[in-house]
Amino acid sequence: MTGCSRRFVLRLGGAAATGVLAGALAAADTPRTAAGRPSGDVPPEVEAAFAALRRRWREVSAGSGFDAEAEPYRTRLAERGAAAARYRRAMAPAGGSLWPDLPFPSLRATPARLQTMARAYALPGTGLTGDVDLAGAVAAGIDHYRWRVYAAGAVPAGNWWNWQIGAPRKLLDAALLIGPH
C-alpha cells in the first residue's frame, strides 16, 4: 500500500480526466484532412496506438460483447434510444442554456444527456445507431458546453468532483463515442 488517500486518488483522477478532456478538445481544433485525420505528420505507429486506445475506451464506456437482440439488452437499448431522441428534440442551444428545462451549467444532467445521446449513436439496437444528425447534435452540445462552461479562465462551479471529474468524464465519453463529427 502506498499510503495514498482516496481524496488524493480522486484528485489525481480528476486532473487526469481534465487533462485528457483538454487534450481531446484541443485535438478537435487541430486542422484536419477531408478524411478527418489531423493534417500534421503523425507517425503511423502513433496513430495506431491512439486508435487502439480510442477503441478500448469506447468498449469500456459503451460496452461490447453482448447480443443487442437478447433481453434485457433489447429493452434497455430501446429505452436509451427513446431517451436520446427526446433529448435531441428538446435541445435548444441558447446563450445561457442547452436544454430549457435544465439550469445552466448543469454539471450532472447536461453531460449525462450528451453521454446518453452519444451512447445511442454508438450502440446497436437503439434505433439511432450511426445517426449522423444525432452525432452532430452531440458535437454541438459539447462545443456549446466547452465554450460557455469550460472556457479559458472559467471559475469552477458547483461540487468539485462534478467540475473536475464527473462532467469531464461524461463529455469525453460522448466525444469519443461520436468520433470525428
Q: What is the per-residue pLDDT across 33-91, written as a single tens digit (0 to 9) for each?
A: 655 555 667 888 888 998 898 889 888 888 888 898 999 999 999 999 999 999 999 99
Q: What is the DSSP letter of 131?
A: -
Picking from 105, 95, 121, the residue whose alpha carbon sits closest to that of residue 174 is: 121
The pTM assigned to this predicted structure is 0.74
Residue 10 to residue 8: CA distance in whole angstroms: 5
Picking from 168, 171, 169, 163, the residue whose alpha carbon sits closest to that of residue 114 is: 171
Picking from 151, 143, 141, the residue whose alpha carbon sits closest to that of residue 98 is: 141
Residue 28 to residue 160: CA distance in whole angstroms: 25
Report the mean per-residue pLDDT for the chain: 84
